A and B are shown apart, each in its own frame.
Chain A
Amino acid sequence: MFENVPDNGLKYVGKGVDRIDTVEKLTGKALYTCDWLVPGMLFGKIKTSPHARARIIKIDTSKAEKLPGVHAVITGNELDYRMGLYLVDKHILAKGVVRHFGEAVAAVSAESWEVAHHAIGLIDVEYEVLEAVLDPVEALKEDAPLVHPDLGKYDHVREAFTPVPGTNIANRMKYRKGDLEQGFREADFIIERRYTNPSVQHVPMETHVSIGQWSVGDKISIITSAQSPFTVRNLFAHSFKIPHENIRIQIPYVGGGFGGKAGIHLEPLACCLSRKSGGRPVKLQATREEEFSLLPCRSGLVYNIKTGVKKSGKIVAQQMTMYWDAGAYADYAVNVTRASGYSAAGPYEIPNAWVDALTIYTNKPFGTAYRGFGHVEFSWGIERHMDLIAKTIGMDSLKFRLLNAMKPGSTTLTGEVISENTGNVTRCMEAVAESINYGQLTGAEKAREKKTGRKIGKSVVALHKAPAMPSFTGTSVILRMNENGSVSATFSLTEIGAGTYTSVAQIIAETLKFPIEKVHVPIEIDTNHDPYDWQTVASKGLLLTGNAAILAAIDLIRKAYEIAGQVLRASQCDLDHDGEKVFLKHHPAKFVPFSKLAVGYAYPGGNGIGGPLIGVGRYCAQGLSNLDKETGQGNPALDWTYGAHGLIVEVDPKTGAYTIIKVASAFDVGRAINPAAVRGQAIGGMIQGLGTAMFEGYYYDRAGRLLNPSFTDNKIPTSLDIPEEVDAIVVETPQIDGPFGARGVGEHSMIAICGALGNAIEKAVGANLTHMPIRPQDIWKALQTGAKPDSPGISGDVVNFAEAPLCSTRRDSGKHKKR
């Protein structure tokens, strides 16, 4: 909508206007769920499992119950509800067995945190420890312990997902395009290698927190730090069989989400504690340690890629097998598997392709959505593989990427034909290559190498992602005019930090032709008052809610014209308006101010017409379809946002220590609604991605206990870890069905940056890396073992995640056959 309006015809869209939510945040006045107190509120605390897999023999809660100040103690025995987004596999508290370290086993409510904490220590749980399955590939073996023996009985979304009962496979996705065997027959080279990455944490600065109240008549009230109010409500309604209208979800300011707060988490337990505490509200807040193990993480991945390529550099066939380590519960991981499956080749055209993607249960903390939804993980393998192929066939790796890049007329893995309007990945790659002087060292860089004794390497990688969402995803915006002629907009996308609320305000101001100061968007959400949105995920919010906002603004103006036409005794086609009034086009002196139309127009004699002005906008994703279960063919993609990163790294060849000198990132955003916010997303996601690339990741012992659930041992990037220079670039190929041509970019900056780092390091010092994160010791080890890319690999080697971060670079290497 309005995608072809030129920049110079726009007043707010395309301008880096101030965010509408920062004054409250800067003054400490913004209230997050953790700040909320509710009259009568009790404090909850959770007893968690110290084992990865164990049978619960007995839970003795008697001592805890007797502790003064304790109101309720609950265990899984008394709760018979299973939850699940797509596959209903998780009890609110473990029932009979625990399936991962950190799983909730019992909970208490008490009059203070201290009493609750003390009470948890008084609960005795007797376990019989069972053999745990920790490696996703091992979990596929016939004799592997089953994480969910009852998988066949679980309810699931049948149109989209395929669990395999009797195995640890929570979902199996198949994508089949062209003729794979024929493609490999045509290839001059076949190159195969395995790539791995561990689970990581989202690390929102505000940990998960919920206040739940279960009142008489099954009236539920929840205040929570969640991303998706209506999804929390819907899942709660289904699991507890309570009517939707009985459930109220309020979401105040949210201290970061990144996908970790997309589903339903602490809300049901807080409400169950409330019910057993006589209906008093109960606040449950995860500690940072619980955030790492009780709450979900990002799934680990083992990714096998086998590619057939011609001497000319054209890829002719690719077979990809993805083993997703979902952990103990499916949550979003089954959909990560689906969505990353159809993107699994990166933004490159593969004429003949097979992808087999498996979501595999293991006895580890479970995976969920995380910024990039699988694409960060597989882009590591794909982008490392692209460089390996280029090196093997003796072609420059950027030239090789440009040759195979998606272009108008290319088809995706699911058969969608790319058009001129889809976006331009080639331009993104060219822009970042230019920014980093790809392919050469500048005079200054040569001097730097000489001075430091370190080696400089440069890389360019490309990326793409489309939202993973139901084909009929819908949203809505309500725009109410206030008495003074300003407007207030409500919608249920949450402002988790990305700045989307400001962009939507800009879109509304632009469409209404109102000054932006007259557009008010309250940050807090309440399902009792605000209109439906599916979820705040997938970088779909700006496009869908933006469109609904345009439609709401058009609807509001149309309704204002209906009344103004009567007042001015004019046909609506003769009306125009500005930020203050509706007037006659040919007699602008004849007008009626919006303030007189806002809540109903009163004639001089006193009689009135109209009533309060309300605009309604609804938008539903259009033209999408389910995927065929055997071939994966269909149209799942609302929009494709393309991008590229260029990275310059300086590596010490003796120690493996490295410094990132520069990152240039370019994204085809269609149109940057708020360039300053886009820049914030570009840089913020890039650094978050570098955290994943450089040092973040879960470490387990052999029994499956998480060893580093804290900031002491699981750091995120600090201000001293950022590149010396960053360059954020946008390409703007308008999205026809995007608001003012825009498409989403919230997740994309995080994708493929890991591959960019690995490739630049390899170019600098020749380290052959197949596991991320890349720590200096990993580079050092790779250089010592001399695992060069062209040395024979150990095909089919199983990477044990329990050990992977320490030894994977030694265990993995490449396998190439020259024909």
Chain B
Amino acid sequence: MKITLTINGREYTRDIAENRTLLRFIREDLGLTGTKEGCGAGECGACTVIVNGKTMNSCLMLAAECSGAVIETIEGESESGELSKMQQAFHKHHAVQCGFCTPGMIMSVKALVKKNPKPTVHQIQEAIEGNFCRCTGYTQIIEAVQAGTDQRDEQEELRRV
């Protein structure tokens, strides 16, 4: 079937199989491999993208459902050639280790901040609860989101005794 949708401001029209997931459409048909698959079952959030303003697990959506949708993926975050403010904060606050959960995490945070420009720590935790990260223990991610929303300046220190 034929679908037309907008991803990161660019319109795409493609013939797709009806059972094509949005995740595989983005990764394999369009080559936007920044969005990752961690489980294929909607549990880990590595495949999070923003569809019409809401975060979705793209592994659980069919591309066929997305005709006419406006979709945002990680590739749209630095199209100007510069890191976004939130990406900068993740960079400065060591909020990235292996990086596999990072694109989905950034998408969840982006959707949060759009709704709530000054989220509390608990609100940040709730917003990223569906994004598993096995490396960081989340703390430096939460600190980065605080920094990216102007609620923190300095890197939290390792205490040397």
Residues of chain A having any CB pair with chain B under 8 Å: 16, 18-19, 21-32, 34-35, 202-207, 253-258, 287-288, 427, 431, 496-499, 666, 672, 675-680, 682-688, 710-712, 716-720, 722, 726-732
Contacts and interface: CB of A to CB of B under 8 A. Distances in A.
A711 B158 contact: no
Interface string B132-160: 11111111111000000000000111111
A23 B92 CA distance: 10
B74 interface: yes
A262 B77 CA distance: 34
17 contacts: A16-B155, A16-B158, A21-B99, A23-B91, A24-B99, A29-B34, A31-B33, A205-B38, A256-B97, A288-B38, A288-B43, A497-B97, A497-B98, A497-B99, A498-B97, A719-B126, A728-B159
B1 interface: no
Given A676-B158, A683-B136, A686-B137, A205 B36 contact: yes
Contacts of B139: 683, 687, 722, 726
A28 B34 contact: yes
Nearest to A523: B99
B64 interface: no
A390 B140 CA distance: 36
Contacts, number: 199
A678 B99 CA distance: 17
Nearest to A674: B94
Contacts of A496: 98
Contacts of B141: 719
Contacts of A31: 33
B96 interface: yes
Interface in B2-37: 27, 32-37
A206 B36 contact: yes
A34 B137 contact: no
Nearest 10 CB-CB pairings of A with B: A28-B34, A25-B99, A497-B98, A255-B100, A687-B137, A711-B43, A28-B74, A497-B97, A675-B158, A205-B100
Contacts of B130: 718
A254 B137 contact: no
A496 to B, nearest CB: 6
Given A22-B91, A23-B83, A684 B160 contact: no
A711 B126 contact: no
B128 A205 contact: no
A24 B124 CA distance: 24
Contacts of A677: 94
B126 to A, nearest CB: 7
Q: How large is the interface on B (under 10, 10 to 19, 20 to 34, 35 or more residues)?
A: 35 or more
Nearest to A112: B28
A367 B54 CA distance: 40
Given A19-B96, A205-B101, A722-B138, A711 B159 contact: no
Contacts of B71: none
A676 B43 contact: no
Contact of A684 (B35, B73, B136): B136
A730 to B, nearest CB: 5
A286 B135 CA distance: 20
Contact of B39 (A23, A684, A711): A711
Given A25-B99, A27-B34, A205 B83 contact: no
B67 interface: no
B125 to A, nearest CB: 4
Contact of B97 (A427, A431, A499, A731): A499
Contacts of B91: 18-19, 22-23, 26
B161 A729 contact: yes
Interface of B: 27, 32-41, 43-44, 46, 73-75, 77-78, 83, 87, 90-94, 96-103, 106, 124-126, 128-142, 155-161
B75 A27 contact: yes
Contacts of B78: 26-27
Contact of B159 (A29, A719, A730): A730
B134 A256 contact: yes
Given A22-B90, A25-B102, A253-B99, A680 B134 contact: no
A18 B101 CA distance: 19
Nearest to A205: B100
A255 B139 CA distance: 19
B128 A719 contact: yes
B99 A720 contact: no
B133 A205 contact: yes
Given A672-B160, A683-B140, 15 more contacts: A16-B155, A25-B102, A26-B77, A27-B34, A28-B74, A28-B77, A34-B36, A205-B100, A256-B134, A288-B41, A427-B161, A672-B158, A680-B136, A684-B136, A730-B161
A275 B119 CA distance: 55
B134 A28 contact: no
Contact of A680 (B38, B94, B159): B94
Given A26-B87, A205-B36, A719-B125, A680 B97 contact: yes
Contacts of A258: 134
Contact of B134 (A16, A24, A688): A688
A256 B158 contact: no
Given A22-B99, A255-B98, A679 B158 contact: yes
Nearest to A258: B134
A147 to B, nearest CB: 30
Contacts of B99: 21-22, 24-26, 30, 253, 255, 497
Given A27-B75, A672-B160, A729-B158, A716 B134 contact: yes
A682 to B, nearest CB: 7
Contacts of A24: 99
**Which of B87, B92, B132, B155 is the most central at the interface, judged by chain A CB atoms within 10 Å of its CB?**
B132
Contacts of B136: 680, 683-684
A683 B83 contact: no
B35 to A, nearest CB: 7
Nearest to B122: A720
Contact of A28 (B32, B40, B138, B142): B32
Contacts of B131: 719
Contacts of B140: 676, 679-680, 683
**Which of B37, B38, B97 is the most central at the interface, judged by chain A CB atoms within 10 Å of its CB?**
B97
Nearest to B90: A26
B137 A683 contact: yes
Nearest to A710: B41
Contacts of A427: 161
Nearest to A291: B39
A729 B159 contact: yes
A19 B99 CA distance: 12
A189 to B, nearest CB: 34
Contact of B87 (A27, A687, A719): A27
B96 A26 contact: yes
A104 to B, nearest CB: 19
Given A22-B91, A205-B44, A206-B36, A675 B135 contact: no
Nearest to B31: A37
B159 A288 contact: no
Contacts of B35: 28
A722 B142 CA distance: 11
Given A256-B100, A288-B39, A719 B160 contact: no
B133 to A, nearest CB: 7
A27 B82 CA distance: 10
Contacts of B155: 16, 676
Contacts of B134: 202-205, 256, 258, 688, 716
**Which of B133, B140, B141, B155 is the most central at the interface, judged by chain A CB atoms within 10 Å of its CB?**
B133
Nearest to B97: A497
B36 A26 contact: no
Contacts of A499: 94, 97
Contacts of A711: 39, 41, 43-44, 132
A791 to B, nearest CB: 37
Contact of A720 (B33, B103, B129, B137): B129
A205 B103 contact: no
A205 B97 contact: no
Contact of A18 (B92, B124, B129): B92
A741 to B, nearest CB: 13
